[in-house]
């Protein structure tokens, strides 16, 4: 994967007028923060789940903070390029970033990452989690995961599956599935959910593996869901069996999205941004969009709970990387 050098900026129309709006509760507390537009880094391309979530939160954060919110897409290297930019940002509360589950494993896969996944960031919030879906293009003959696995056993290393990148949770989970189920697929990594879902919808892949959000609304139209990766069926997809129910035991993997700040960002600013996120996530339309078409269970954790969650994810998936000798492709 070649990190893109293109930086995309998008400012919500009318955001420049917010400076003239009545002071929000945050400004009424008498501090200088925010002192200007707040930048939200999306380490994946437009169209993927990270970008979609930030665009959904953007107007509500603008209202809560009384300042323009700028979403900046800096994609590449399974999210590491944009996350490195976040690590280098000034810890003044003017830059935050929404990371995907790749953040917990990039340090084990990418040489010379350029930042410390633990020390260079301050956790803000675990925004939400979701099961990943394994889906086939509707032109493929498989009606269940068991049928797709049987085809893979009959023709090893011929059936393709796409993910958002090497070391992504989908890649690691499918690695475990192949070991547990005794079959072999061909991994095709992409630079985000947008490019991957586009390729899957066009029939360029046999299977696609991502959250419902990451599959870009294609489930039920161009893509047929075969199984979900959680230990239990998602309430958003009660009729879709789990991987374990489909004959591959021991699989329990949920994708996640979390907000980070640069390390040494003042705790007071982290708390106030966290409160603005809580406010945005409490908007009924936002929750409906996340839980409905995107299939995300909103968590809205405390910074401390997100920090503990990150540690567990790094331990679990770091071990999978080491035991399976996963390297960049």
Report the interhelical angle of 303-323 vs 267-281 (nearest 10°). Answer: 90
pLDDT (0 to 100) of residue 1: 41
Domain 8-130+255-323 sits in CATH at: 3.40.190.150
Max alpha carbon distance in the chain (Å)?
68
pLDDT (0 to 100) of residue 48: 79
Residues of each domain in the chain carrying CATH 3.40.190.150: 8-130+255-323
pLDDT (0 to 100) of residue 67: 97
CB 236 within 8 A of CB 189: no
Residues of each domain in the chain carrying CATH 3.40.190.10: 131-253
How many angstroms separate the first and last alpha carbons of the chain? 8
pLDDT (0 to 100) of residue 329: 64
Q: Which residues of the chain have pLDDT under 50?
A: 1-30
Token pair of 285, please?
Answer: 């339309």
Question: In terms of CATH architecture, what is 131-253?
Answer: 3-Layer(aba) Sandwich (3.40)
pLDDT (0 to 100) of residue 185: 98
pLDDT tens-digit series, residues 7-29: 222 333 333 333 333 334 334 34
Phi-psi category of residue 112: left, alpha or beta, with phi > 0 → left and psi -120 to 50 → alpha: left
């Amino acid at each position: 994967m070649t990190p893109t050098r293109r930086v995309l900026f998008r400012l919500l129309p009318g955001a420049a007028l917010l400076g003239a709006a009545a002071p929000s509760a945050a400004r009424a507390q008498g501090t200088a923060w925010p002192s200007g537009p707040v930048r939200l880094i999306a380490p994946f391309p437009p169209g993927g789940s990270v970008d979609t979530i930030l665009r959904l939160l953007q107007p509500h954060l603008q209202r809560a903070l009384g300042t323009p919110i700028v979403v900046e897409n800096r994609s590449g290297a399974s999210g590491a390029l944009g996350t490195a930019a976040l690590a280098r940002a000034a810890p003044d509360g003017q830059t935050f970033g929404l990371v995907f589950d790749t953040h917990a494993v990039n340090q084990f896969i990418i040489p010379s990452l350029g930042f410390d996944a633990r020390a260079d960031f301050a956790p803000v919030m675990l925004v939400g989690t979701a099961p990943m879906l394994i889906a086939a293009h509707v032109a493929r003959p498989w009606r269940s995961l068991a049928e797709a696995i049987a085809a893979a056993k009959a023709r090893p290393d011929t059936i393709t599956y796409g993910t958002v990148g090497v070391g992504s949770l989908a890649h690691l989970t499918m690695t475990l599935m192949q070991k547990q189920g005794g079959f072999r697929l061909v991994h095709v990594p992409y630079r985000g959910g947008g490019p991957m879902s586009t390729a899957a919808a066009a029939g360029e892949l046999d299977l696609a593996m991502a959250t419902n959000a990451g599959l870009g609304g294609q489930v039920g139209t161009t893509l047929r869901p075969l199984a979900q990766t959680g230990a239990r069926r998602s309430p958003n997809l009660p009729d879709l069996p789990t991987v374990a129910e489909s004959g591959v035991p021991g699989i329990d993997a949920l994708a996640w999205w979390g907000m980070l700040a640069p390390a040494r960002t003042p705790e007071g600013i982290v708390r106030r941004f966290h409160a603005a996120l809580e406010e945005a996530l409490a908007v009924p339309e936002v929750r409906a969009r996340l839980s409905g078409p995107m299939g995300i269970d909103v968590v809205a954790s405390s910074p401390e709970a997100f920090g503990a969650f990150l540690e567990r994810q790094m331990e679990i998936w770091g071990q999978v990387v080491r035991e399976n000798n996963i390297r960049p492709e």
